[in-house]
Amino acid sequence: MTVNVKEVFDSMTYGPAPESSAEAMAWIKEKDGKFGHFINGEFTAPTKGFATRNPATGEELAIISQAGKAEVNKAVSAARAAFPKWSKTKGHERAKVLYALARLLQKHARLFAVLETLDNGKPIRESRDIDIPLVARHFYFHAGMAQLMESELPDAEAIGVCGQVIPWNFPLLMLAWKIAPAIATGNTVVLKPAEYTSLTALLFAEICVEAGVPKGVINIVTGDGKTGEAIVTHEDVDKVAFTGSTSVGRKIREATAGQGKSLTLELGGKSPYIVFEDADVDSAIEGLVDAIWFNQGQVCCAGSRLLVQEGIAEEFYARLRKRMASLRIGDPLDKCIDVGAIVDPVQLETITNLVKTHGGDGEVYHAPCDMPVEGCFYPPTLITDLHSASPLMQEEIFGPVLCATTFRTPSEAVQLANNTRYGLAATLWTENINLALDIAPKLVAGVVWVNATNLFDAAAGFGGRRESGMGREGGWEGLAAYTKPKTTAKKLAPVAPIAAPKSPVVDGLDRTAKFYIGGKQARPDGGYSQPVYGPKGHLLGHVGIGNRKDIRNAVEAAHKAAGWAKTTGHLRAQILYYIAENLSARAVEFAARLDEMQPKSKKHNGKAEVEATISRLFTYAAWADKYDGQAHGVPIRGVALAMKEPVGVIGALCPDEAPLLGAISVMAPAIAMGNTAILCASQAFPLAATDFYQVLETSDVPAGVVNIVTGDHADLGKTLADHMDVDAVWSFSSTPDLTATLEAASASNLKRTWLNQGHARDWFGKDGEGREFLGHATEVKNIWVPYGE
C-alpha cells in the first residue's frame, strides 16, 4: 500500500502502535496463573480465589487468592513482630531500602506499565508515562524523608502497624502513596489491593525481596471487601489508610470508632472545572481531555463538573464536541489510544444506568467514536444544560462523563463550585492572574489547579475536605498521617464536679452564669440550670444545662462569623494579645475563682494557672501571623503553593482538669488560625469558662468567633459530632467512653476529629501547646500555578 504523506497530515489519522504483552503474560505464566499472598517476606501457596480479567477483552489473566481472617491475622502478626526493630532502624537504613525500591521500579518500569494496563484497562501511554514514573518518584521522595526524619522531626515517631486498602483506578500509584510514607517513618504495613487489580501489587511484592525489605515490614493480602474490613477493624492495627468511595469511607469511620486508630481517608469527588470567558479556550479544552477522559474518567479528582462563563458557553461546547469526536477509543495496549476500557462490567453498568436515568435532565452528547465490539468501553460523553441540583452534577459517576452548566459572574462560579458535599480538587482557567488568585482560595478543595489539571507530585500533599476525606498524602504534611508525637500517654482519670454538701454555704447574691453565643450572653434553651459547689461547701453559682438547640444556636452564630477566616494573621494576633491583657488585669480575681472551685493540691494553683493561660494566649498570638505555608518544589515550570487554611467551625469539649488553661489552650489555636469555636466548658469546673466570656466581651472579639456552652459533655459532644455544619470536633474531656460515640457520629459528614482517647495531657507543659494544635486547626490547600509562555 502506498502511503501519501500529505493525506496523512491532512487527516491526522494514526496507525496502530501495539505494545507487546509477551513479557507480562510470561510473568503470569511463571506463576501458573495463580497467586498467593505476600506475608512475612514470602509468598503463600495459592488458595481458592477469584479471576482477574483484562477489561478490554474479558479474558482471564490469573486467579487471585481470597484472604480470610486467618490470612489477615497472619499478616498483621508479621507486621507487629517486625515493627519494633524497623521503627528503631536508623533513618539512613530505611532510606536505602526505599531507594532500592525506587531503582527496581525503574528497572522493571515497562513490565509494571504493561501489567497495569492489562489488569486495569487504562491506556499504556498513561501507565508508562504517568503512573510508573510517579510511583518511582514517591519512593525516591520518601527515601529522602526517611533520611531526614531524625533531624527534621525529632519529636515524632512511627504509629505502628498500618492497615491500608487501595482502589482499582491507580493500583500501583495508590500503593506507592500508602507504602512509601508508612515505611519511611518506621511503620510496618498490611496492604490490600483492589479485587479487580491486584497484579502489580504482587509484582511489587517480588521486588520487595530484591530490595532487601525486612520480613514483615510489607505484607500484601488480596481479597474482596470482607478482607479489607478484616484489616481495618483488626484490633492490632494502629493506623488505617483508605482510598475509595465516600460511602465505604463512612462505613470505615463507623467501624473503627472507639478503637483508637489513626485514620486517613481519601474519598470521592465531584470536582469543578471552571472556565472564565478570558480563558485560552483551546488550552482549556485540552485540559478537559486530561481532566475527565484521563483513565476513562475513573479518577476521584476528575474535573467532572464543567462550569463555563455564559458569554462563551455555546462556542466552548461546540469546540469541545469537535475535539471529543477526534478521541480514539480501543485496545489500551495501543499507544495511539486516548481512552481505554472501563475496569469491570459492574462499573460499566453503573455508568450506563446513571446516564440513562438522569441524562434527561440535560442534553446528552456521546462522542461519535469507533467503539470496540468486545470489552468494557463507554464513549466520551458531554451532558449540558444541567441544573446544579441534578444527580449528575452532585453524584460521582466515575466514568468518562462530563456534566456542564453555566455561570455569569465569578462569585456565582464560586457558589456553584462549592455547591457539593465533596471538596477534593478544582480547576480554573483564566488569563487574569488576579482573578485566578482571588478565586482559588475561595474554592472548598484540597487541591486547586490554575490553567492546568491533574498535576501530582510526591512533594505536594493530596487530599480533600468535607466528604472527600481527611488527611493528606505526600509532602511534609503527608508524614503527619504516619507519625505521632513522642509522648508517654497516661490514663486520664474522670474529674467529677464537687458534690452538693449536706449544708451548703451561701454567700452574697445569687449568681447564674449564662451561655455566650453570638457575642451575647444567652439563657439555656431548656430552662434548666445546675449548682456549682466549691470544695469547702460554698455554693459558687449556677450554670445552664445546654441542649441541642443551644448547640444549634452556637453553630449558626459561628457560621455568621465566617469573615473571621478572611482577617489577617496580624489582626488576629492583636486580638489575642488584647485578650491576654484584659485577663492579666483581672488575674487576681480569676486565680481566686480557680482556687475556690478546685480542691487544694499540688496540681491546682490558681495564680499559676492564670499566668500559664496568659502565656498561652501570647504563644498563639505569636503564631497567628507566623504559621506559614510553603512553595513546594514540584517538577513543573511553576509553583505549588501550600496554603494553611482554617478548618471552619470547631466544636470542642474542654479539659476538666485545667478548666481555664485547658479551655484557652483549645480556643486560642483555633481562633488564631481563623476558625470559629464552640467551647463546651469543663463539666466539673465550668465557672472558669463562663467568667472568661466577660474578658471576651471587652477584647474586640467579633460576635460568634467564640461561643461558650455549659452542660453534660456526653450530650453536647454527641450533638456537635452529629451536626452537619460542624467541621471538626475536639475532645479533651475526662468523661469516660466518649471516643467511640464521637467518632461514630462524626461519620455523618466525615468531620475531622481530635480526641484524647482517654489519655491525659500536661496542659502546663509542652504537650499543652504548639504545632500539634496548629496542625489540627488548619487544612492544607495546594494551589498549582504554572507560569511562563
Distance CA 679, CA 321 (A): 53
Least confident range from 75-89, 395-409, 667-681: namely 395-409
Residue 8, pLDDT score = 63
The percent of residues above 90 in pLDDT, for the chain, comes to 79
Distance CA 156, CA 142 (A): 16
The single residue of 19, 162, 208, 300 carrying the catalytic annotation is: 300
Residue 5, pLDDT score = 67
Distance CA 190, CA 644 (A): 32
Nearest to 651 by CA among 546, 521, 781: 546
Residue 655, pLDDT score = 95
Q: What is the pLDDT of residues 705-727, one digit of tens each?
A: 999 999 999 999 999 999 999 99
- Residue linked to cell 471538596: 423
Residue 300 known to be catalytic: yes
- Who's near 745: CB < 8 A, 6+ residues apart? 718, 721, 722
Q: Residue range 69-73: average pLDDT?
A: 96
Residue 497, pLDDT score = 86
The single residue of 19, 116, 157, 266 carrying the catalytic annotation is: 266
How many other C-beta atoms lie within 10 A of the C-beta of residue 558?
Answer: 27
Whether the pLDDT of residue 446 is over 70: the answer is yes
Distance CA 551, CA 553 (A): 5
Rounded to the nearest integer, the mean pLDDT of the chain is: 92
669: phi then psi, degrees, rounded to nearest 5? -65, -35
Q: What is the pLDDT of residues 566-581, one digit of tens each?
A: 999 999 999 999 999 9
Q: What is the pLDDT of residues 352-376, one digit of tens each?
A: 999 999 988 889 999 998 889 889 9
- At CA 91, angle to CA 98 and CA 85, rounded to 5? 95
Give the DSSP letter string of 383-435. EES--TTSHHHHS---SSEEEEEEESSHHHHHHHHT-SS--SEEEEE-S-HHH
Q: Residue range 666-679: average pLDDT?
A: 97
CA distances from 105 to 22, 101, 116, 218, 508 (A): 19, 6, 13, 16, 77
Q: What is the pLDDT of residues 483-492, one digit of tens each?
A: 998 887 788 8
182 near 189, Cβ under 8 Å?
yes
164: phi then psi, degrees, rounded to nearest 5? -125, 130
631 bridge partner residues:
641
Residue type at 126 in one-letter notation: E
Distance CA 219, CA 205 (A): 8
Residue 266 known to be catalytic: yes
Distance CA 645, CA 545 (A): 33
Whether the pLDDT of residue 1 is over 60: the answer is no
The percent of residues above 70 in pLDDT, for the chain, comes to 98
Q: What is the pLDDT of residues 36-54, one digit of tens each?
A: 999 999 999 999 999 999 9
Residue 2, pLDDT score = 58
Distance CA 487, CA 314 (A): 60
Residue 3, pLDDT score = 60
Distance CA 148, CA 696 (A): 43
Q: What is the pLDDT of residues 502-544, one digit of tens each?
A: 887 887 767 778 999 999 999 999 889 998 888 888 888 899 9
Residue 13, pLDDT score = 66
How far does CA 722 lie from the centroid of its chain? 19
Q: What is the pLDDT of residues 380-427, one digit of tens each?
A: 999 999 988 899 999 888 899 999 999 999 999 999 999 999 999 999
Q: What is the pLDDT of residues 258-289, one digit of tens each?
A: 998 999 999 999 999 999 999 999 999 999 99
Confidence at 18, pLDDT banded by 50, 70, 90: confident
407 bridge partner residues:
309
